[in-house]
Structure 1
Amino acid sequence: MGKTALLLMDMQVGIIGMCDPAKAKECLERAAAAANAARAAKYPVIYVTVEFRPGHPELGPHNLSAARAKEANAFVEGDASVAVHPVVAPQEGDIKVVKRRVSAFGGSDLDAVLRGLEVDSLVLGGVATSGVVLSTVRQAADMDFKLTVLEDLCLDRDEEVHRVLVQKVFPKQTTVKSSTEWIQEVVKA
């Protein structure tokens, strides 16, 4: 029997700051509650952040979103924008994984960490729904992880895209539920 891990992805100051402040606040508070429930259940809590080396050598010119990050000199290692938002900041014992692409697996050692921990079930939340969450769901499903997306721990600047993903696309590869439902299940287990 495997283990479950909670992945909180791209919940960074520079990314959350691009979202509607009221929605971001609610999402972060729910993410903190989910992280506390995971810790109480002895589930690993893994923070995935996107960070680039100075000059963005990881980013080629043909990827449009990467080109924008490079042009803006965004998300460089050590910059305040890459820090996990303080409302949901990692605690002692939590794991941080740095990625260099959109998917949580892209350019990171996440797979090695999950295999080392014998994790076979992932619970996901992140910003943006159409970015890190979508890319990670697709890749993790192909890697045979059991998946749950906590829809209220996901934000996207386009609410319609978020709705379509959590209601129509994700259910084909993952269970979608609210963080409240998941926390109740974790507490009962």
Structure 2
Amino acid sequence: MTNSALLVMDVQAGIVSRFDQDSDYLPGLRRAIGAARAAGVPVIYVQVGFRAGYPEISSHNKGFGAIRDRGGFDEAAMRIHPDVTPLPGEVVVTKRRVSAFAGSDLDVVLRAGEVRELVLTGIATSGVVLSTLRQAADLDFRLTVLSDGCLDADAEVHRVLTEKVFPRQAEVTTIDAWAKGL
């Protein structure tokens, strides 16, 4: 997969903790990361984060404003989940909005690495995955979504996105099928 990268988005301890810890999500995501590394596909981690005092959060931003008003995330909750920890040298991008591109240097990292295809995973399907897919499509990236590498609080929303919406702009496949093709 020349010129591709696997994006692992918002798989942070505080976000993962909201989901069933007995699910197959993290083991599957570890398989995808392992397959990418073995094939020489860069793994890029994307996390949401803010400075002390949350100067990036506008009072007009309903979603992030609520986080700020609750006191935000503590430092431990912001860390990438220990089950999918980046290796030394793997890129970790901090974003300030829902899309992996918004308020981050992801585009610069991708251009510098001559990446033209993105393989998307993350939490939530209806949040970071949807927003990143839309923006990446507008930026002319080839896109693959690993349906079981994405997780959403609403199973029906996840299904509609992966079966009906995402296929309009991306190839949608499973972790095992993608890894087999590497």
Same structural fold, with TM-score higher than 0.5 when normalized by the shorter chain: yes
* Equivalent residue for 2:123, pick from 96, 104, 127: 127
Aligned residue pairs: how many? 182
| CA shift in 2, pair 1:2/1:115, >3 Å | farther
Structure 1 residue 61, shift from structure 2 partner: 1.5
Name the SS of the counterpart of 2:66 in structure 1. helix
Tell me which amino acid in the other structure corresponds to 2:28.
R
Please report the TM-score for the alignment, with normalisation by the length of structure 1: 0.93
Corresponding residue number in structure 2 for 1:15: 15
Per the TM alignment, residue 73 of structure 1 is displaced from its structure 2 partner at its CA by 2.2
Q: Distance in 1 between matches of 2:14 and 2:161?
A: 23
**Secondary structure in 2 aligned to 1:119?**
coil
State the secondary structure of the residue aligned to 1:21. Answer: coil
Residue 94 of structure 1 aligns with an amino acid whose one-letter code is E
Deviations 1:57-88 (A, max 9, x none): 10112221111111122236xx0011111111
- What one-letter code is carried by the residue in structure 1 that aligns with 2:37? R
Counterpart position of 1:63: 61
Aligned to 2:167: 171
The CA deviation string for residues 12-47 of structure 1, in whole angstroms up to 9 with x for no partner, is: 001111112223xx1111111111111111111000
8 A contact 1:50–1:75 mirrored in 2: no
TM-score, structure 2 length as denominator? 0.96
Instruction: Supply the RMSD in Å over aligned alpha carbons.
Output: 1.3
Counterparts of 1:109 and 1:139, CA distance in 2: 14
* Counterpart residue number, 1:37: 35
Note the residue ranges of structure 1 that are not aligned, 5 or more in a row: none
Distance verdict in 2 for CA 1:40–1:2, change over 3 Å: closer
- Which consecutive residues of structure 2, in runs of 5 or more, have no partner in the other structure? none
| Partner of residue 45 from structure 2, selected from 44, 47, 56 | 47
